[in-house]
Structure 1
Amino acid sequence: MPKIAEAIAAIERFAPLSLQEEYDNSGLQYGSPSAELTGITVTLDLNPAVAEEAVKNGDNLIISHHPTFFHPLKCLDPTKPELKAMEICIKNGIAVYAAHTNVDKCKGGLNDYVLNMLGATVLCEAEPGSLPRFGVFPEPVTLGELSETVAEKLSDNGVRFVGDRHKVIGKIALITGGGGDSDSVNAAIAGGADLFLSGDFKYHVIRFAKDAGYAIISFGHYESEIPFMPLIADVLKKEGFENVHQAVSLETPYNTEGRI
């Protein structure tokens, strides 16, 4: 039976920790790497429902995209939802590992995976460790058409765009999750992209794009990063690991009944 350390090593071969951003806390968050591996649950976030799901599956390793801990803790208070999940893991001997911005930035990582989902070819000029990632379409598409594709492929009914819906798009720049800041937009423009796709845009960034005539597609943070689960599950299965499960209990934090 493989050790937890072997699964961690497989992830770090794919997405070296050296690629993570300074603010990030990717890596082992809790657990013993020397323990025998019984199974793996892959998730976007660790919450109590996911922790209980791992217990039910008999998995003793959870690989989460978002770290549970970003900053040092002064106490473990299980009344806090994120720490309640960790309490469940501790009581059941489940190790917790985060693979965040290193997976965002690596070659073949989350951004490249989503570019491929949208039908784009990843450009080699986007070196591993750099964001945004750039891609091109085999045939140009319009902004309106691409917005519909994004909504369909990411199952996101909240996609919005800035610009003329008939604008022809050839080269795009992408940051999954929350890359909607001025620096990222400027990097997309400097890289020659006709369009920048990301989430969590600040209002002033959207206003700039509108006034500058630059195309933007805004998607949900959750929806754009859920593909982390099939991506990492595939990485682990190709490395020969069995009993790899994608979390089914995790849901978007937003209500889904519809818009007011």
Structure 2
Amino acid sequence: MKIAQITSFLETLAPLSFQEEYDNSGLIHGEPDREIESALISLDCTEAVVDEAIALGCGLIISHHPIVFKGLKKFNSRTYVERVVMRAIKNGIALYAIHTNFDNVLNGVNAKICEKLGLGHTSILSPKAALFRKIVTFCPLGHADQVRNALFSAGAGHIGAYSECSFNAEGTGTFKAGNEARPFVGEIGHQHHEEEVRIETVYPVHLENRVVSALLHAHPYEEVAYDLYPITNSFEVGSGMLGSLNEPADELSFLKLVKERLNCKVIRHTALRGKPVSKVAVCGGSGSFLLSKAVAAGADVFITADYKYHEFFDAEGKIVISDVGHFESEQFTQELLFEIITKKFPNFALRLTSIDTNPINYLI
């Protein structure tokens, strides 16, 4: 299949517009229209992973972490980043990353962590605002279904677990067609009154061109009236995740469960508070920036990675910080991507890397 078929599908689940400003998710190298027979999934894109892709005949590597974060000015094999990119180009292997955009969606990286830990009643810990807009348009009564369905098909009308959401109100529209007009209803030079429906629905910002285009195509009028409104509401997109245990657990038992379920060699944590664990906040990768959100949400434990020494003091006895390691917190992202892509493309040759890309070793 074509590379674009896979990447387009992934971007419907985790749109590139959901990634953080510093990130570099998306197709880093490769031609979207190129046909490939198989793809390799990994957490990181390293030289060993590229060699594995070559040996397996994979034309695409889908990794969580982008191999390129900043612009490369030279390609002389001095760094592992340059060597990976050069080797991939030389062997015709496309590189694709699905990073913080996959972190920030409801069924992404953090949801998988919650699943592994048995957490239920999950929600986004720090929802993002201004990712959605509202479109309002007006059309004749008899064409309302046609216009609504076109907007829904373009991706509008989704709110949480609900789809095809809209608000509709009937009223009277007026207009007078000029001499050069070709009106759908009414006569040139005469004011016309038409019974119309006001249709309102929301859509993700990244789909704006598609939604507007669908409206213009489905609407019967020569000149389509529509308004676009910014929305500051927070929807189910954002950083981290909050979940709860079926039954409260003592802190030490819960940390032992975390160590076992996430295959951790070691867990670094702040002092135990002697209180039962009910609510748990998680953030795959570097999540120290979410500590205040975890505390405000009433979490008893915050599971993340990459905590610095002085940052552990910020717990201040209000929460237990549990640093499980960056790789350990995100390792199941590979498994999640495999499940999602295989379900969509069951006949496509998809492989999970056999390479342990964790650069950190532990002396136990």
* Residue 113 of structure 1: aligned partner: 112
Among 229, 233, 237, the residue aligned to 1:129: 237
Q: 1:194 aligns with which of 297, 300, 303?
A: 300
For 2:65 and 2:265, how far apart are their aligned partners in 1?
23
**Corresponding residue for residue 62 of structure 2:** 63
Deviations along 1:67-88, whole A, 9 cap, x unmatched?
A: 1111112112223112211112
Greater strand fraction, Structure 1 or Structure 2: 2
Question: For residue 343 of structure 2, what is the aligned residue in structure 1?
Answer: 238
- Find the aligned partners of 2:296 and 2:56 in 1 and give their Cα distance: 47
Letter in 1 for 2:260: E
**TM-score using structure 1 length:** 0.93
1:251 aligns with 2:357: yes
Compute the displacement of 1:217 (Å): 1.1
Greater Rg by CA: 2
Aligned to 1:146: 254
Q: State the 1:14 CA deviation.
A: 1.4
How many Å apart are 1:122 and its aligned residue? 4.3
Structure 2 counterpart of 1:245, which letter? R
1:173 paired to 2:257: no
The one-character-per-residue Cα deviations of 1:202-221 (angstroms, maximum 9, x if unpaired) are 22221121x33421111110
Q: Give the whole-Å Cα distance in 1 for the aligned partners of 2:351 and 2:258.
A: 25
Equivalent-residue separation in structure 2 for 1:69 and 1:124 (angstroms): 31
Gaps of 5+ in 2: 126-234
- The residue type equivalent to 1:208 in the other structure is D
1:219 equivalent in structure 2: 324
- In structure 1, stretches of 5+ residues that fail to align are none
Q: What is the percentage of aligned positions where both structures have the same residue?
A: 34
Distance in 2 (alpha carbons) for counterparts of 1:204 and 1:90: 42
Letter aligned with residue 114 of structure 1: I
Contact 2:47 2:83 (8 Å CA) reproduced: yes
TM-score by length of 2: 0.67
- More divergent stretch after superposition (194-203 vs 246-255): 246-255
Query: In structure 2, what is the Cα distance between the partners aligned to 1:214 and 1:120?
Result: 18
> Distance between the aligned counterparts of 1:58 and 1:195, measured in 2?
44
| Letter paired with 1:70 | F
Aligned length: 254
